[in-house]
Amino acid sequence: MATRKITRREMLKLSGTAALGTLLAACATPASPPQAPASTSAPAVASGPVKISVMHDPKEFTEDMIKQFEAANPNIKLEVIKTDMTRFYAMAAAGNPPDVVRVQAPDLPQLLSRKLLKDLTPYFQGSSLLKPDDLAPANNYYKAKSPTQFGDGPIYGMVKDWSPDFTLFIYTAAFEEAKVPVPDATKSLTYDELADMGKKLTKVQGDKVIRWGFDLADGWIDRIWMNMLAEKGASLFSADYKKINLVNNDEARKAAKYFFDLQKANAMANPLNPSTDWIGADFTKGMVGIIQYGYWFSAMAESDVTKGKVVMLPSPTWAGKRRGPTMTATGTVISAKTKNPDAAWKLFEWYHGGAPSVERAKGGWGVPGLKSQYAMIPTDSPFQKQARAILDAELPYTNDVIQFNPYISGDTVYNLWNKYVEQALRGSLSFDDMLKKIEAEANTAIQEGADRIV
């Protein structure tokens, strides 16, 4: 049989074509195509089982929980999708969002402005497990009169647990080493005192930073500014949230400068001197003197290195007014377009007031979402007892919320800070020019976001 050999040139052409195909694929839409769950359109009273789709973190919504719930509710089948907000948006755009969704505080104004959240107030009012009066203060993040008025009003969801995130942890060995007196745990430090301590605790050997004096989750930086400004009744945004004010806003400028100076002094990890790990791990390795991370971190603050040398402190103040809310408020909501609201509520109620919530409360990884479960918080070790005492003293200052901007993602301002602070730290951009750039780009993003919402 006659055969035709493929020449080397033809082979290369074919390979080139294949490579071109791969390259073209990169230009396709980046989001995963909407893979809507096979949700049923049957009402909750239908004879067959109802399927509820849950977008959640598999570590927080485990296989065991699914089995428990399905055993107790044979008419409801659960389909769990891993949390991915891009996928959520794609599913919502396709008109078939998951029924129950894990969210965080910065997502909520945007979701409400897009009319994606179901008002759960009537359900709360009729529930014996989730009574409105029993809701912990962090649930204020799920109450809103409008996308720019969070804190009170109809209830759209609930925290799974929470934490006063501005509270501090100190590594006392670092204080002893630097001969800095350990602060009184019953008193709230000022941010100025904190910066002073942070600089003193920073340990340097040659050009190396062996220990940062003070650190925080840098992704939260604009949330911290917002809380600082709120102490003075000021805001990062204009009243209608359609502008960010950094350049001509003295208070905002001071807040940003505070962190810039700490980074410049290498008292805090920064883009020129970053850590290879996350700050919690750095703290447990004894590489950070003070960490601003919130009560939840008490579950892991003590390691082999830090055991017996960690003290929790109250949240600091910027202008003398105590404000110690959570700034993440991780919880769940129900989609406005759910086809099975009663079944979705049943799951919601069970997750937040049933066995999983009891398990979470006893785990010590955060403050329960219900006040009636506070007594379950573990206080076995001396450190847990100390942390609990600080938590109890902090609770009266946790009612406030940080009002996030409904027109941009919660990462926008941080992302811009992250991009320009490196240049400012290198001196290729002045601090004020950095603020101008952040303000200009953030305002463009806000304007675009506002234009897209009908």
Partner 1 sequence: MDIHLPLVQKGRSVRTQQSAANTQARKGMSPRAWRQARAFYLFISPWLLGFIFLSIVPLLVGLLISFSNYDGLNLMEVKSVGLRNYARALGDTETQYALQRTALWTLLNVPLWLAISFGLAMLMNQKVKGRGFFRTIFYLPSAVPVVAIVWIWKIFLDKNYGMVNGLLGLIRPGTALPWLTDYALQSLTAISLWTGLGSGMVIFLAGLQGIPTELEEAARIDGANGLQVWRHVTLPLMTPVLFFQLVLAIITSMQAYVVPMLISPGSGQNLSNLPPRGVYLYMIHTFQQIFVFRRFGYGIAMLWLLFILIIVLTFLVFRTQRYWVYYETETEEKKA
- As measured in angstroms, the least distance from the Cβ of 9 to partner 1 is 5
> With respect to partner 1, which residue has the nearer C-beta, 23 or 71?
23
Exposure on the CB side of residue 2, measured as CA atoms within 13 A: 1
Contact by Cβ (8 Å): 168, 315: yes
- As measured in angstroms, the least distance from the Cβ of 348 to partner 1 is 23
Contact by Cβ (8 Å): 117, 157: yes
Distance of CA 65 to the CA centre of its chain: 23
- As measured in angstroms, the least distance from the Cβ of 366 to partner 1 is 18
Would you tell me which residues interact with partner 1 (CB under 8 A)? 7-9, 12, 15-16, 19-21, 23-31, 33, 86, 89-90, 92-94, 114, 205-210, 218-219, 269, 271-276, 278, 408-409, 411-412, 414-415, 418-419, 422-423, 445, 448-449, 451-454
- As measured in angstroms, the least distance from the Cβ of 355 to partner 1 is 30
Which amino acid is located at 182 in the chain? V
Would you call 132 helix, strand, or coil by DSSP?
helix
Nearest to 237 by CA among 221, 249, 254, 228: 249
Contact by Cβ (8 Å): 65, 332: no
> With respect to partner 1, which residue has the nearer C-beta, 31 or 72?
31
- Residue 325: phi and psi, rounded to 5, are -75, 175
> With respect to partner 1, which residue has the nearer C-beta, 33 or 132?
33
- As measured in angstroms, the least distance from the Cβ of 444 to partner 1 is 9
> With respect to partner 1, which residue has the nearer C-beta, 25 or 71?
25
> With respect to partner 1, which residue has the nearer C-beta, 131 or 242?
242
Give the DSSP per-residue string, 325-360. Answer: --S---EEEEBTT-S-HHHHHHHHHHHHHSHHHHHH
- As measured in angstroms, the least distance from the Cβ of 218 to partner 1 is 7
> With respect to partner 1, which residue has the nearer C-beta, 242 or 254?
242
Q: How far is CA 347 from CA 341, 362, 393, in A?
A: 10, 20, 33
Q: How far is CA 134 from CA 11, 55, 58, 78, 379, in A?
A: 71, 26, 27, 27, 22
Residues paired with 149 in a beta bridge: 146
Would you call 189 helix, strand, or coil by DSSP?
coil
> With respect to partner 1, which residue has the nearer C-beta, 165 or 218?
218
b/e sequence 260-286, b meaning 16+ C-beta within 10 Å: bebbbebbbbbbeeebeeebbebbbbb
> With respect to partner 1, which residue has the nearer C-beta, 46 or 210?
210
> With respect to partner 1, which residue has the nearer C-beta, 399 or 418?
418
Contact by Cβ (8 Å): 312, 387: yes
- As measured in angstroms, the least distance from the Cβ of 273 to partner 1 is 6
- As measured in angstroms, the least distance from the Cβ of 86 to partner 1 is 6
- As measured in angstroms, the least distance from the Cβ of 285 to partner 1 is 9
b/e sequence 134-165, b meaning 16+ C-beta within 10 Å: bbbbbbbbbbbeebbebbeebbbbbbbbbbbb
